[in-house]
Amino acid sequence: MGGGRTGPRDRRRGVFGWTPRPGPAVLGKRGRTDPGGRAGPRREPRRDGSAGHGPHPRRERRGGGAGERRPGGCGRPGGGVVPPPSPRAPPPSRRGDLAAATRHAGGVTSALLDWYEPRRSPGTYPWRTSPSDPYRVWVSEIMLQQTQAPRVAAAFERFVERFPDVAALAAAPRSEVVTAWGGLGYNRRAVALSEAAREVVATCGGALPVDPSALSKLPGIGPYTAAAVASIGFGVPVPALDTNVLRVVARWRLGSEPHGLRAAPIRRAAAEAVDRKRPGDWNQAVMDLGRTVCRPVPRCSECPLAPECRFLASGAQPERAPRRQGAFEGSTRQLRGRIVALLRTQPSAPLTAVAETSGRSMDQVLTTVRRLAAEGMVEADAAALRGEPDGRVRLSG
């Protein structure tokens, strides 16, 4: 790609007398040109790492059949996989050391995917199906946000059997969704899942969006979950950066612990390393590798990335940052869980029963009930919101 950075003494006049500001790179002499010779605008890279050519993410994207269009990058109703656009590979890094690592990444990536192959079957985790079902991927990723995989595996099949697709989840009363969420904790995720399903039905006819930026606008979905659903469910080549992936990429590609780097270089390295043909498998492989092998104290002898790991080659010692978690016993989180657990077993309960069951004071119960009501988790009558002992509370419908 020709051209370089323009400086104060190196400005070039455009076709209509426009003088570019110092700083931005100039492509060739006039930038990208159309058949008429006019300088065309330079498109910024999209969040999925593509060069920005092809259909704009805000425009309609093709759906299931020929000529069918769905708004907002929606997928196919019923969870079918929509073939993603063919993005251009990201531009090579300007850092010489990272570019050198990129040239050797193909063989190591193949070894990584070979290492992951026996772990990708549904026997390992029930949401790992082939081909991937975007709905199951979405539900599993929401469950995995703050709950360990073995607990999720025990609850996942029961949940998707009760709510087999987006439409069924959207049609269910919120109280049923929260009840089915039992055992997973952090019940706000169930409320967000219900709200997101209703939004997808209303805007996309029950088909999850394909584009990560559209997914991230749904309740309960942040950048990581959006990238995971897009890559695993739809094959969009974008890295899903959780704590494990950040650690693996920082060590493998940049030779450092992640807390010693800024986020931007790690994101750039991950975008260059992600496998363009199997991005979902690549993301899950790196997640599993970080969870089981490239841990805070790594087991490098078992790692398929060891031959090209810059951290291992440097001889650096892992630094385990201290991690503290607040005590659960006596916490507000514990009280929230007890209130929801009680309301799962009966249509409604008075504040006095909630206080007796939870072992907390009426003031603590009232404060927590008001918060749960504001979040849409529970419904409280006027007497309960005023703090009257006989006021009743129930799960939101």
Which of 173-195 are b and which e, b meaning 16 or more Cβ less than 10 Å from the residue's Cβ? ebbbbbbbbbebbbbbbbbbbbb
Half-sphere exposure of 127 (CA within 13 A, CB side): 29
Q: How much of the chain is in helix, strand and coil states, percent to nearest 5? A: 45, 5, 50
Please give the positions annotated as active site: 141
> How many whole angstroms separate alpha carbon 256 and alpha carbon 262?
11
The residues, ordered by sequence, that sit 6+ positions from 346 with a Cβ below 8 Å of its Cβ are: none
Helix (H, G, I), strand (E, B) or coil at 178: helix
DSSP string, 51-120: -S-SS-TTS-EE-SSTT-EEGGGB--TTSPPPPPP-PPPPPPPS-HHHHHHHHTHHHHHHHHHHHHGGGS
